[in-house]
Amino acid sequence: MKYRLLAGVSAFVATAALSACSSGAADAGAGGVTTVDVWLMRDSVSAAFQKEFTEGFEAAHPDIDVRIQIQEWDGIGQKITAALASNDAPDVIEAGNTQVAQFAESGGLLDLSDRKAELNGDDWLKGLAEPGSYEGRQYGIPYYAANRVVIYRKDLFEKAGVDATKITTRDEWIDATTKLNKGGTQGIYLPGQLWYALGGFIWDEGGDFATESGGRWKGALDTPEAQRGMAFYARLQALGKGPKDSDEDDPPQAEVMAQGQVAQIIQTPGGANVVVENNPGLKGKLGFFPIPGKTAGTPGAVFTGGSDLVVPAASGHPDAAVTFIKELTGDAWQKKLAVAMSYVPNRTTLASAVAGDPGASAMAVGAANGHATPNTPGWAAVEAENPVKDYMTAVLTGGDAAEEAAEASADITRAMNSGS
* Pairwise CA distance, residues 55 & 127, whole Å: 30
Which is the CATH superfamily of the domain at 30-147+304-371?
A: Periplasmic binding protein-like II (3.40.190.10)
More confident position, 283 or 88: 283
Full-prediction pTM beyond 0.85?
Answer: no
* Cα radius of gyration rounded to whole Å, the chain: 22
What is residue 31's predicted lDDT score, i.e. its pLDDT?
A: 61
- Where does the pLDDT of residue 83 fall: very low under 50, low under 70, confident under 90, or very high at 90 and above? very high
E strand or H helix at 303: strand 302-303
* Pairwise CA distance, residues 94 & 77, whole Å: 11
* Pairwise CA distance, residues 218 & 223, whole Å: 11
Buried b / exposed e along 205-238 (16+ C-beta atoms within 10 A): bebbbbeeeeeebbbbbbbebbbbbbebbbebbb
* Pairwise CA distance, residues 409 & 390, whole Å: 12
Mean pLDDT along residues 193-214 = 96
Nearest to 284 by CA among 166, 186, 185, 154: 154
- Over the stretch 383-406, which tens digit does the pLDDT of each residue have? 888 999 999 999 999 999 999 999
Q: Which fold has domain 149-302+376-418?
A: D-Maltodextrin-Binding Protein; domain 2 (3.40.190)
* Pairwise CA distance, residues 377 & 415, whole Å: 11
Mean pLDDT of the chain: 90
Nearest to 42 by CA among 64, 77, 70, 78: 70
Q: What is the β-pairing status of strands 264-267 and 286-289?
A: unpaired
- Over the stretch 31-62, which tens digit does the pLDDT of each residue have? 689 999 999 998 888 899 999 999 999 999 99
- Over the stretch 239-268, which tens digit does the pLDDT of each residue have? 999 999 999 989 999 999 999 899 999 999
What is residue 75's predicted lDDT score, i.e. its pLDDT?
A: 87
- Residue 413: how many other CB atoms lie within 10 Å: 18
1-5, 210-214, 253-257, 366-370: which range is least confident on average? Answer: 1-5
Nearest to 242 by CA among 264, 216, 269, 217: 264
